[in-house]
Amino acid sequence: MVEIGDDEFGNRVGKLCFSYYDKLVKTGKPQKGKEWTHFAAILVTKQKDDGDQDLEIVSMATGTKCVGISGRNMNGYVLHDSHAEVLARRAFLRYLYFEICQAARYDSSDVLNYSRLTGTCSLKPNVNFHMFVSHTPCGDASIFPKTPATDNEIGIVIDDDGNNDTSDPKPKRQKLHTTNDQDVEDIQRTGAKCLPTGPQDLHLPGVNYHITKLIRLKPGRGEPTRSLSCSDKIAKCPFSKTALHRAIIERIKDVSNLPPDYRVNTPDLVQSTCVFADGRFTTSLTNVLPCPSGTVIWSAVPETSIEVTVQGKKQGVTKKAGLTDKAACSVCKKKLLDQFHVTRLTINKLKSESLKLENQRTYYDWKTSAVYYQKAKTQLQNAMKDWPPSLS
């Protein structure tokens, strides 16, 4: 496990996140001792004049689920991927849209400066963002040597979806020689599957079970998903934390020819020793399952309450409402597109341009028209050769 940076900071972040989580009401949380979930948050630090540093959570989410192919819906109202990291990042986008509007309208954002000349925002000096996760992201970052602390499930293979596969006989032990001169007999396993079109895991006993550095699909029981693993998604977005340097930093270190304002981000990785009460390995019971009741999502935007979703829709909506605005949570594609329009109009009004809302254009149209973003994505896909362009 790579550990760089300030452990004291990691623990300060972990403590703040888990005390926030503990204060949330039970709705959407796992049943104690029977279920587990993953937690992710994005935080901001602001350096004060007296040297102290303010630390605040700006978005958070829990979740371990992903809808199968038949549950996907093209109207943008349903969340396809409800893994905690992905939802926390989307809730963070919502926070950023709000802050952009504050900066552009009133020059009153705590974190952004707005330039009327260029119509662009920049981060204020001494402001930094951090991502915190209660677990290693599924996929490549979840494949690493077993240590005595994590090897409490001998003879039981548990994938990311919590399946206890007791049919796999205890394998003949092989050893892996690690960079810090330790011999390792077995590796952690991820339920995230290799792409059907690419190289496949060997599924051999011990250290040869998986092949590392591959792009993977999210784990799931039954029907296959079309969502990429969190290791792959975090490697793509500007916020990264993982114990496995390989998955988050090493795989993208050679990305080059990026468009203006894009750069390869090499974040500091810090491990917190705080324990997540509802985490998968917190209980000693072996039959705990991933929380089926859904996810909890929140952004630091005024008048925003905690949202709970089940199968990608707001909890409590009827099946019929599944295809309407009523079922949509604030971070589904449709609602984020609405926020994007509000933000775009706020900025363009200040530039005295007469632009009307172009409702006919889809989320996909807007995304593909972001030329620099698309170029950066192409460069990343070129560096990670087996990244499938059609998957999200």
| Residue 83 vs 193, nearer CB to Zn ion | 83
From CA 298, how far away is CA 308, in angstroms rounded? Answer: 9
Beta bridge partners of 68: none
Please, which residues have CB within 8 angstroms of residue 256's CB and are 6 or more apart in sequence?
Answer: 379, 383
Least Å distance, CB 61 to Zn ion, is 11
Least Å distance, CB 161 to Zn ion, is 10
Rule CB under 5 A: which of 48-87 touch Zn ion? 83
Q: Residue 342 gets which letter from DSSP?
A: H
Residues in the chain: 392
Query: Could you tell me which stretch among 94-102, 207-215, 223-231, 283-291 binds Zn ion (CB under 5 A)?
Result: 223-231
In this structure, what token pair is assigned to residue 20? 């926030």
Asked if 244 is part of the footprint of Zn ion (rule: CB under 5 A), the reply reads: no
Residue 277: exposure state from Cβ atoms within 10 A (0-12, 13-18, ≥19): middle
Bridge-based pairing of strands 216-217 and 193-194 is antiparallel
| Residue 83 vs 241, nearer CB to Zn ion | 83
Asked if 230 is part of the footprint of Zn ion (rule: CB under 5 A), the reply reads: yes
Asked if 235 is part of the footprint of Zn ion (rule: CB under 5 A), the reply reads: no
Q: Which of 107, 87, 89, 109 is nearest to 98 (CA)?
A: 109
Tell me how crowded residue 79 is: count the other CB atoms within 10 A of its CB: 28
Instruction: Compose the 82-121 pattern: x for residues touching Zn ion by CB under 5 A, - for all others.
Output: -x--------------------------------------
Least Å distance, CB 234 to Zn ion, is 9
| Residue 44 vs 230, nearer CB to Zn ion | 230
Residue nearest to Zn ion (CB): 230
Least Å distance, CB 361 to Zn ion, is 30
| Residue 94 vs 216, nearer CB to Zn ion | 216
From CA 229, how far away is CA 216, in angstroms rounded? Answer: 5
Residue type (1 letter), 224 = P
| Residue 103 vs 230, nearer CB to Zn ion | 230
Instruction: Compose the 122-141 pattern: x for residues touching Zn ion by CB under 5 A, - for all others.
Output: ----------------x---
Please, which residues have CB within 8 angstroms of residue 282's CB and are 6 or more apart in sequence?
Answer: 36, 275, 276
Bridge-based pairing of strands 313-314 and 307-310 is antiparallel
Angle (CA) 276 281 283, round 5°: 85
Least Å distance, CB 139 to Zn ion, is 7
| Residue 83 vs 314, nearer CB to Zn ion | 83
| Residue 103 vs 138, nearer CB to Zn ion | 138
User: Total residues contacting Zn ion (rule CB under 5 A)?
Assistant: 3
Least Å distance, CB 219 to Zn ion, is 8
Q: Which residues bind Zn ion (CB under 5 A)?
A: 83, 138, 230
